[in-house]
Amino acid sequence: MKNSGQPFKILITGASGFIGKHMLRKIFNTSNIIACVDLFYDEDFFKEYGKRVQVFSGNMLDKSFITSCIKSFSPDYVFHLAGSKKRTNSLPEFKISNEINYLGTLNLFEALLEVQNLKLVTLLGTIEEYGSTNPPFREDSLELPGSAYGLSKLTVTKLGLIFNHQFNLPVVILRPSIAYGPDQGEEMFIPALIKSLLRNKPFQMTEGNQLRDFIYIDDLINAMIKSITCTGLEGQIINIAAGTSVRLRDIALQIAVITNSIDNLKIGEVPYRNSEIMNYAVDITKATKLLHWHPETTLTDGLERTISFCRKKILNEA
């Protein structure tokens, strides 16, 4: 962090989510003062962090709630991770994801305009904002999102840029590819596959020819930390990814081999979605130059760590 000789006040929205928990663990033992905003927290969260962080529980769509949080805590740095992450493309989801992601962020930004000591807001976007544009995805590529989630995140990105340009709110947007790692929910492909195979249950999937870029959670967190240690990032969009695309089929087979569950992997039994993007390729040149960052975890190492975590968790649940 800039001038890191003194403690700073760091706010994490969406702190009880997958990325939020990993960020909290990363900075928990520093001298900085930490506050968390989220709608729900489980008992384990309070047991692990409750005595060391300030916890705000409420809905970011409630403008008075988020205004009160910001006024009370007055953060130096904000990691904005809260929002809807559903990947369905139902008609209601276009409204729901826009309300949660856009309006929640708008409430946060308006409240932050009153914070005199604010140094940076790190806003997390997504590679899904690029959608069906031609790969490799670069920060100046035309965005053509093909999902309600991708569209809602793109509107948040544009909102961040407007607030930076028009109101001097210090915002940087990081666009991660597909994050994975320990303690991730089963709504995502990798943890759903791993846990199904470890439980000796069949896992049905498409032919798996989709090319995807997967970023291990520790590498993503390191990039986010870099965003508040570097200078001159305000108003920038920066891709955060492994920089290498792999077929879902190949990842599934690798996981099946590691878990010794190849017979339970049912490839080709699920059709592709109508809006399926078949090729993700992400250019991370800008992250290397501006953040002095590069991913350090190989896919094999990341998968083995994730599988080990899931195996221990399943055994504890038994």
Torsion of the alpha carbons at 209, 213, 214 and 215, rounded to the nearest 10? 180
Query: What is the block-wise mean pLDDT of the chain (318 residues), using blocks of 10 residues?
Result: 74 96 93 95 88 93 97 98 81 86 97 98 96 95 92 97 98 98 95 97 97 98 97 97 98 97 97 87 98 98 98 87
Picking from 255, 225, 256, the residue whose alpha carbon sits closest to that of residue 240 is 225
Q: What pLDDT does 271 receive?
A: 95
> DSSP per residue over 125-177, as a string?
--GGGTBTSPSSB-TTSPPB--SHHHHHHHHHHHHHHHHHHHH---EEEEEE-
pLDDT at 5: 64
Tell which CATH classification among 3.40.980.10, 3.30.1480.10, 1.10.3720.10, 3.40.50.720 matches the domain 9-182+215-243+282-296.
3.40.50.720
Q: Which residue has the tokens 């010794």?
A: 260
pLDDT for res 256? 98
* pTM (predicted TM-score): 0.95
Query: Domain boundaries in the chain?
Result: 9-182+215-243+282-296
Query: Dihedral, CA atoms, 190, 191, 194, 197, nearest 10 degrees?
Result: -110
Helix, strand, coil in percent for the chain, rounding step 5:
40, 15, 40
